[in-house]
Structure formats: C-alpha cells, structure tokens
Structure 1
C-alpha cells in the first residue's frame, strides 16, 4: 500500500532541517500538490472494508503526522466516508470475565466522520456482538440512523433487541442512495422486520445479504431490476416460493445464495408461479441448500444460460441405506441451460447414471466438489472420474484443476489415488508424471493442481496422502489438503464471503 512508503515530518526534517531553518526549500513532501497528496492518502485506506477510528491507521494516523498532512486529510472528504465500528466483544470475553467497550467513543467518531465526509455518501460496518443492548449502543444507532438519507453501504451485526428498535425506526422508507445492505442477527424481530423487494425507499439497492434473520419478505410485481446479489442464510421463514420470487422479480440477478429450511413445497398455484420456464439470463453464481423441501421443483422452473458456478445441496430424502431416491432434474437443468459451468459443488441423492449424466453436461468444469456424508457416492461414481487410456473418448470432466471430497471413507482411498494418478500432469504441469504406471499412462492433457479432502471423522483427517503414489505426486508439486469432517460443508454465508 502507498502509505508504507510515506515518511513522517520528523524523518524528513532530520535529513534537511538545517537548510529549511535558513530559508531554503521546504521538505520534498511539502512540495507535493494538494491533489496528489490527497490521492496518496486515499491509497492508504484498507483495500477491503472500511477504516476504524484508531489513531494507528489511516485516516486518523495521517491527520496526526504534521499540520500540513492534517490540513490535507481534513479537506479530503472521501477519507471519512466509511467507518468500521466493532466492539470485539467475543474476542475480549476470552480474556476477561467482564469485557467493556466505549460505545460513547464510537458514537462520537461516527458523528465526527459524517461531518468530515462533507457531501459524500456514508458507509458503515457496525459489528456489535455483545448480546446486551446497552445505552451506549443505542447512542451509536441514533447517530447512524440520523444519516439514513446519505447511506450508501450498511453492514450490521446487532443483538436482537437492537434490531427491533432499528426496524421500528422509520428509516428504510427514506434511504434513497443505499446500494448495499447486509443484516446479521435479526432473528427475533418477528413481524416488525419486513424486507420489501424492491424497497420503494431504497430503490438503488444492488446487493442484499440477510444472515440469521427471521425477516418477512414482501415482493412487488414491479420487479427489482437493480438487484444483482442476494444472499439469504439461516432464515427459518425462507421458502422455495421466496427463492422463486427472487429469481422471477430480479431479472438482472447475477448471484443468488439461499439456505431454505422451510418444509413448505413450491406451490404450483401460488401467485408467484405461473407454470412457465423462466430464463435467468444474468445469473452467474447459484448456491442453494434445501433441508426439508424438494428443491427439484424449483430447478425445473428456470434455466440459466450464463451460469458459471453451481452449489446445490438437497437433504429432503434424508439419505441413509437403500437405493438412491434420484435427482434427474439436475441433468435436465444443465442441459436446458447449456451454460459453460466452471465450478460445481453438489450434495444430492442421485443415481450413478444421474451423476454421470450431469458430468457429461459440464465439460468445461475446472473445480468439482462431491459429498459423502449421507453416503450419496458410490464406487462407480468415483471410478468414473478416472481417466483411462483404453477409453480416452469417454473421459469426463477433462479440464478439472481442483477436486474436493467430503466424508472421505477408507473405501474411497484407492479410487482417489487412481483419480489423482490419471489427472496429475507431473512437475512440468503437462505430459506424463514420473509416478504413472502403464495403467494410467496416456497422451491426454492433465490439469489437476489441487485435491482437498475432508474425512468422515470429526477429529481425524483422512489418510490418503500417506499412500505412496499420492506422496510421490505431492513431492512433484501437487497440493493435497486433508482435514477432519466439516460440520457444515455447505454455507451460503461462506459462499458470499468468496464473492
């Protein structure tokens, strides 16, 4: 960052203080124009997120170096247009039985920064994990809510009781410049919390993130053409009808991620469904995790020709012993979408043929993740990923660079080893690896670069990397990561963090 190259006045004056006192040229830093120094200061802000009101980082640090820098910093309103206020309550609770935070200081900082920002729109990240809604928090909220007409970006994590006050404050109907809204922790708001799509008071919102929020969603027939990113996680009220409404009412939606825990099926006679196939023409990334309802009903209602990333999990069949229930809708969806998918992560109760059919419809995949916690995978599915010299015309997913498996059991070790052998290109990155035997030799292109394995045990990782052929590939440069079982292999929240 540019600020690492800046020097303080004391260092500058030590190099040329004598000549400066005798009336010659001032230090070089003072020869920079206001505009140039202002641009340098802006480069000192965090690359992601917003600055904190700490005197150890920009912009507060810049205003404390010398009078000239303070003059420039105080007259560069963009420096003060965003602020990150975090009480670090959970972190402090690990070290003291009674963590404290100066919320009054936060309130004063929020007010002061809004003044210094001049006419700029304001961005806030307010992350208060203290479960008690204190008077100090209330003061911070009052300051931020009072500037709702200038909001550009709002990210908030608050205790539930605080959210009730936020939603009863009539600010959402008048936030005309708000573009980004992320709400976390509003899980006890009840009927007080309603998110309108689109929101007449915030017509410019293009990104909406709701996590741990039992909020009601109200969709207007006018549509929401500006909404491009929607992530809804841990909302027990979210139904498949809501998911369908987002897809239908947001024609320019590029990213949609949802965790659907409701048992309500997609209702064919619902006003939100019209029995026709919808083209989600702008959708590029789709993450859908459905716990109790049948997600295939939704998948049959639309296609996405621009889709690049698909993450789909459906647990309504419950898994367990016995034959798979089947999920032919995935292959149908991929076929009618005819998209050039590059990343796919699926946890579905599919037959072996349905897995293969889905693979054949995604020839451009570079990343694949499959799950076995519910015993959805079989030896035939695993072995289908092995590239064999006798049948090069039948190779599936030839462009894979990254493969991940969760719920790895010992019976999968041999298949994984053969998959790696057949797809690892050696230290040169192409051609035959020195580890390959005759069975895996062949002239096909090998692009595999990394393998990520989560074991079936919550404490111990799998032991695939100890197999001799895998160890040889690792020595040549293959990345193999082994970890214990993941509690939640699917997460809309983590998916959104990677955007």
Structure 2
C-alpha cells in the first residue's frame, strides 16, 4: 500500500506540473497580456522605482513576463522621480546612489520608446550641511549655475525627453526652475499638463536661490495643447507675466496655505474671467477687499470647484455663477454659502469645512441644496483649544427630511450630535421606500460614547449601510501615546474626515 501511495504521489506531481504548463495565463496572447499589465498600473499617480508594485513587480514573476514587460513601452511611460536627499548620509555613498538613480531613470524613459511621458520630479528642500547654495552676481543678481546640485542633474536628463512630455510636475528650488527657461513651444509639442511647486519659498524658510521665478521666461507654458496647469498661490500675486494661454485652460489648480496665497478676491475674479473653458478649478484665496467691484463671472462648463477662502469674507461668492457645478468643496466663512449653493441647481456633492458653523447658516445651506445632491460632508476646524459651533441634532433632523437622493453623509470633529439623533436619522432615512438611497454615514465624534446604538443599527448594516461612528476617549489629548497614528483616539489626530487641499 505504501508503494502504491508513493506511485500515486509521483503521478499526481507529474500531472500537476503539466497542468501548470497548460494554465490559461500561459496561453494568453501577448497583446492581451500587455493590456492586463497596463491595467495594473496606478491611475492616481505616476509609477515609482520600486519592485513592490507594477511595472517592476510584473517583470519579477517569470522570464516571459519580464521580456513582455520590457517590450511594452506604455508600461514605462510614467515615472515618479525623487531627488537623492543629501541630508541623510547613513545609507552609503550619496554619489553612488545619485548615479544609480540617474541611470535607472534614463534607462526607464528610454525603454518607453516613443510613448508620450508622464513625469513627476520631487526635489528635496533640505541640503547637506556641507552643501553651499549657489551665489549671485553683483551686477545682474543672476544665479551662478550649480551643476553639482542633484536636482539640476535630474532636470538635465529629463529635458532630453522634453519632446515627449505630456504631463509633467516639478517640486524644485527656484534656481533649478531656471533650467526650464530655454525650452520653447517647439520643444514640448505634446505638453498637456504642467505643474510646478518651488520648495525654497515656503513661509519664512531660508532660500537657496533667487525669489524671482522668471515666469515670463517659461515659454513652454504657451504650448498649444496645454490645458491643465497647477501652481502655488504665493506665485500668483501678479498674473500678467505668466505666459499661459488662459482661454484654453480646462483645469486650474492654485494650492498652498491661504495665508500665503497671492490671490485676493479681486485677482481671483480676474483670473476666472480669463478662463472661460474651465472644467475643474482649485483656488486658495488670501485677503479680499469688501465690497468687490468686479462684475459677475460665469463659467458655463465648470463642474468641480475646490475653494479655500481662509479667513476672507465669503462675499466673493456673490460674484460667481457656475450653472453646471456638480462638486463643491468649500473652506472658510459660510455666510454667503446658502445663496451660492442655491444657484447651483445641478450640485451632486458638497463638502464644507469652516470655523463658523452658525446653526442658522448650516440649516439655510442644507435647505438651499438642490434635490440632485447625493453626498454631503460637514467639517469643523480651528486652532487647538478653541471652541467653535458644530452641527447639532437639528442638522440631522433636517437631513432626515430633505434630499431624497442622499447617498452619503459625513460629519467631522463634532461633539454636539447625540447618539439618539444619529439613530433616529438612520431609522428615518432607511424607511424611505423599499430601496433607501442612504449608503454611507460617517461621523467623527469628539466625545466618548454615551449610548451604544450598534445593536439597533445592525438591521441596517446588514442591508448594506456602511456605518462608521468614531468616538474619542474621555481623557485623550495631544499627550496621548496614540497621537499621530491614523487610528489615534485624539480628536486632533489624522482622520478620514478632512478634505485634501
């Protein structure tokens, strides 16, 4: 019997080995397998030089997959490059690491064949203690080109592929930005998306280059296909020198903290009036004169708006008309918000983050929302230790009666909504018809649990409702041993409840 069992094991091993050779994936046509490989790539960012994710990971499965991945240029048409940080020298010779990364980057892009490229370059702000910033001449205040600066070495290699740039994003020093000055429209015939952020002009940090960015010298911004542009608000104190073709832009993003932005209300209205074709817009606005004298600005195609007014008056909203707006993320004073959302008759998603949660304003904003609204998020923010009004039970009472298509509700940094009100809200929404619209409820409560409603909510979660109630410990504080972790009980820790600006 033992001999027969051994014979059976040998025969099964022989059969299994041949079954593996006959598996469907081995008979997959190369062109189909290539498309599957391409579908594995990240869609929200560029690929990274790492063996833990595609495309590098795909080439480590077997020799045939490696050969196919290297023969598929589209797999290597996107790349995120990080400058070697000179601050930390505990990982071996920096020059060797720099050389290796430069060679890998160049080989990667060359294997992309003639495919249009999507590239992001992340420069490092901090320099080695032995690094000497570039000097300036006494006559023209022009920077002396620092060829040993690693970011310049990366840029020099990337510029060789400028004719194939489609989407590029740079985080670099102002000195390095001048390396792009000699590129003309003819050098970047495929450029559609350009993003730039200068690291040495953040707040009051010291700079290692000139404060003048030389926007007028960046002639590549005149590229006929350029329809997406992203920059920092601190660089927009003067719009005229920027040689963008504003009239054809479809996506515009002006980021950074509001207190640092060069855009005030008047300049923002001027900017929007220059971009009649915008579909997506993100703006950070600083001080604003009130009242504004600018005429009404209408953008007939805009569908997504992210606006951070900081501490600026929301009167600027009175000068805006976006009839096709579907997604609105708003941060700042909400006094003029009800009238604005009331004019957006196609709005589907609203996210509001403000320090001034006046109960009346919140109620008016919610009642002004069109019946098409499916997603609502309300968030309170402010300096640690200061008290601001939060959405209360009345907000849930209103939302239980309006917005028949409401699918998700999020409330963050809240301490006044009661557990009873939450239970009543869910019960009323889930009783709306045979197939209620509510699919998700997420509330971050800055207080301990007072009433356990999980058992009563089980009947709704079993029907598909995603319920996420996050409570804070009674004694949690910034001194908590969990502070800084994603699942920290501290009400001031990282959380899902905040829009990303």
TM-score by length of 1: 0.69
Does residue 228 in structure 1 map to residue 251 in structure 2?
Answer: yes
Provide the rounded CA distance (Å) in 2 between the counterparts of 1:36 and 1:163.
Answer: 42
Supply the distance in 1 between the matched residues of 2:406 and 2:119 (Cα, whole angstroms): 40
Please list the CA deviations of residues 144-202 of structure 1 after superposition, one character each: whole Å capped at 9, or x if unmatched: 122222111113333x2554444545467842312222323444363224289997532
Give the corresponding residue for 1:322. none
Separation in structure 1 between the aligned mates of residue 83 and residue 90 of structure 2, nearest angstrom = 14
Q: 1:372 to 1:227 in 2, by over 3 A?
A: closer
SS at match of 1:340: coil
Give the 3 Å change call, closer, same or farther, for CA 38–99 of structure 1 in structure 2. same
Q: Flag structure 2 segments of 5+ consecutive residues without an equivalent.
A: 1-12, 132-147, 202-209, 462-466, 472-488
Q: Which residue of 2 aligns with 1:148?
A: 162
Q: How does 1:20-419 map to 2 (within 5 A)?
A: 33-54=29-50, 58-60=54-56, 72-86=68-82, 96=90, 100=94, 102-129=97-124, 131-132=126-127, 135-158=149-172, 160=173, 163-170=176-183, 174-188=187-201, 190-194=211-215, 201-211=222-232, 214=235, 217-218=239-240, 223-234=246-257, 235-260=260-285, 262-265=286-289, 268=292, 273=294, 275=295, 277-296=296-315, 298-314=316-332, 327=335, 329-347=336-354, 349=356, 352-364=359-371, 365=373, 366-371=375-380, 373=382, 377=389, 382-387=392-397, 395-397=401-403, 400-409=406-415, 412=416, 415-419=417-421
Q: What are the Cα deviations for residues 288-332 of structure 1, in whole angstroms up to 9, with x where unaligned?
A: 222343231x211112222223222325xxxxxxxxxx82x2222
What's the Cα RMSD here? 4.6
Residue in structure 2 matching 1:480, options 466, 469, 477 = 469
How many angstroms does 1:140 deviate by? 1.6
Tell me, yes or no, if the aligned pair for 1:241 and 1:266 is still in contact at 8 Å. no
Residue 480 (structure 1) shift: 0.6
Query: Does 71-80 or 137-146 show the bigger shift?
Result: 71-80
Change (3 A) 1:118 1:418: same
Tell me how many residue pairs correspond in the alignment: 428
Displacement after TM superposition at 1:258 (Å): 2.1
Q: Deviations over 1:461-499 (max 9, x none)?
A: x21xx222544455554321245344899999815xxxx
The TM-score, its normalising length taken from structure 2, stands at 0.69
CA offset at residue 424 of structure 1?
0.9
Structure 1 pair 145–258 and aligned structure 2 pair: CA distance change class (3 A): same
Work out the CA distance in 2 between the residues paired with 1:141 and 1:263: 36
1:494 maps to what in 2?
A: 500
Q: 1:488 to 1:59 in 2, by over 3 A?
A: closer
Q: Report the CA distance shift for 1:367/1:377 in structure 2 as closer, same or farther (over 3 A).
A: same
Q: Give the distance between the partners of 1:144 and 1:332, measured in 2 at CA.
A: 48
Distance 1:150 1:423, change over 3 A: same
Matches of 2:331 and 2:407, distance apart in 1: 22
Distance 1:217 1:187, change over 3 A: farther
CA contact (8 A) 1:175 1:201 kept: no
Where structure 1 has 5 or more consecutive residues not aligned to the other structure, the ranges are 1-10, 18-24, 316-325, 433-441, 456-461
Check whether the contact 1:150–1:177 (CA below 8 A) recurs between aligned residues. Answer: yes
Name the structure 2 match of 1:321: none
Give SS of 2:418's match. Answer: helix
Q: Output the CA distance in 2 between the equivalents of 1:195 and 1:376.
A: 44
2:206 alignment counterpart: none
Are the equivalent residues in 2 in contact too, given 1:231–1:492 (CA < 8 A)? no
Task: Give the 3 Å change call, closer, same or farther, for CA 197–254 of structure 1 in structure 2.
Answer: farther
Q: Structure 2 vs 1, CA of residues 268 and 480 (structure 1 numbering), >3 Å: closer, same or farther?
A: closer
Distance 1:204-1:295 versus aligned 2 partners, 3 A rule: farther
